[in-house]
Chain A
């Protein structure tokens, strides 16, 4: 069994982002970046499968600027065996469709049995890439997974859905996207990172892959959401009860 895990480098989830005044985007210069949280769960799932001796090799892949090497290094420290970086220009935005097309090419070269992705990237909040890749490959998809169980030539995925959870069984190869309750990603200590520096990262240029990287959607502007003004501090429970009764009555 071979597993490919796709990782995105994003603005760290603890950073409160700032919208640029001219509406051209979000300030990403000099802002802390890290591995997209959902991708961490995807890596952890793959590493756990390897630790159970059910997978031989885990390959981490990222499409992004040279700095994305850091998140790949992090994935190697967590237990991936080698990494691929499809390098883009600094500040170049690659849409999920183009990411999926690039990933498809790597899948065809590497022939993994499973591809793990995060359910969504916390910058674009698209929640698209895994489904798109599965479509382009004509593979089954198990999205928003909170549990993955391997069986002979099949994989069972428990999905987090609006009404609760649903468990499905898919033949391998398949695409799986990770939700946050899939596992608890391990922390990487410095010795693990130093060891990971010996593992190979193969860097290639994304533009050399004969995939149209031009964005399809035209971003007209990025704006701030309306601000909410904090309000009144109430003095006691009766005041709270009165307010709730009042608001409830408003139709």
Chain B
């Protein structure tokens, strides 16, 4: 049994997901190799090699891979597939884009969005926006998985400076025959924010339609800042332009698993709840005691958010 993990990164940094994906891979047992593919990603590979439990890093550093196009990474993974029984990655926007294509090329059904690993070939995944859990068994020749990172514990990582050089030793450069691509990158819009990463944050503060305007969303941000929390939003808030698309939580947005989730002016539609089932505690601020969010929240305060929020912010301890 050998496992290949496709590392996800933004060319500069290894994404926080990876430590949790390795955590999931360890549950499978077996030797874990990691593939780092990109351009000028030697440091990413070094950091990956420091993740606890990783056997070796396969590194492909080539200008061609300066963007993680599925059309390029798929043939690369197909080539490597022979050596592995399991190929896995995060179920983030990179993994979800590549892995079904990879599976089709190998004539396999992938298992996407895995939330629980029962054994090397039995997994849970949510269906119907998390309103049901499907337990599936895989008896195909190989197992292709995307993993919901927030559902797994992360493995440790050696600190910067520790084990210097040792990480390097685990890195093996790989070569592939020249691939070509006719798809090109035009531009990107990155949401600038100094708040923690939504999918791995321990506190998340989110606002819904009731926030009322982009300007008023500043209140949500202010509360988040005070708590050193990540900021989220509902689809309604994103569609109305109050918040950027990458803040959306839910069935089609991000899945979070914080210690504490604070939902402000959010009704709790099932598609939104799909993204917060991993939250340990939920606090709701809503003017409607019958809102579904209030029904599932551990604590709710009923009232007008416009009055509650400024008052709350002033009463919270500064971190």
Contacts and interface: CB of A to CB of B under 8 A. Distances in A.
Chains A and B form a bound pair: yes
A136 interface: yes
A122 B251 contact: yes
A247 B262 CA distance: 11
Contacts of B235: 180
A187 interface: no
B191 A141 contact: no
Nearest to B254: A162
Interface string A106-146: 00000000000001101111111111111110001101101
A179 B262 CA distance: 26
Given A131-B70, A131-B100, A216-B109, A247 B260 contact: yes
B184 A95 contact: no
A101 to B, nearest CB: 9
B128 A26 contact: yes
Given A141-B70, A240-B312, A244-B283, A181 B97 contact: no
Given A119-B252, A169-B186, A225 B136 contact: no
B104 interface: yes
Interface string B106-126: 011111110000000010011
A160 B298 contact: no
Interface in A167-181: 167-171, 179-181
Prevailing SS type, chain A contact patch: mixed
B152 to A, nearest CB: 17
Nearest to B203: A248
A164 to B, nearest CB: 5
A237 B311 contact: yes
Interface stretch (A13-21, A47-55, A60-68, A190-198): A13-21
Contact of A125 (B102, B126, B245): B126
Contacts of A247: 259-260, 281, 283
A217 interface: yes
A11 B129 CA distance: 12
Given A170-B182, A217-B111, A237-B312, A125 B259 contact: no
A223 B133 contact: yes
A223 B103 CA distance: 26
A180 B245 CA distance: 11
Contact of B296 (A136, A170, A228): A228
Interface in A201-246: 215-225, 228-234, 236-241, 243-245
A132 B97 CA distance: 10
A251 to B, nearest CB: 8
Contacts of A165: 188-189, 245
A222 B199 CA distance: 26
B130 A248 contact: no
A128 to B, nearest CB: 4
B97 A141 contact: yes
The 4 closest A-B pairs by CB, nearest first: A132-B104, A128-B100, A131-B100, A135-B101
Given A125-B113, A228-B282, 14 more contacts: A17-B128, A97-B109, A132-B103, A141-B71, A143-B97, A160-B93, A166-B189, A169-B184, A215-B109, A225-B132, A232-B298, A232-B300, A237-B311, A244-B262
Interface of A: 11, 13, 16-17, 19, 26, 95-97, 100, 119-120, 122-136, 140-141, 143-144, 146, 156, 159-171, 179-181, 215-225, 228-234, 236-241, 243-245, 247-248, 250
22 contacts: A16-B270, A128-B103, A131-B100, A133-B104, A140-B182, A141-B71, A143-B97, A160-B246, A161-B246, A163-B10, A164-B244, A171-B182, A216-B109, A217-B140, A221-B135, A224-B132, A228-B296, A231-B297, A231-B300, A232-B299, A240-B308, A250-B259
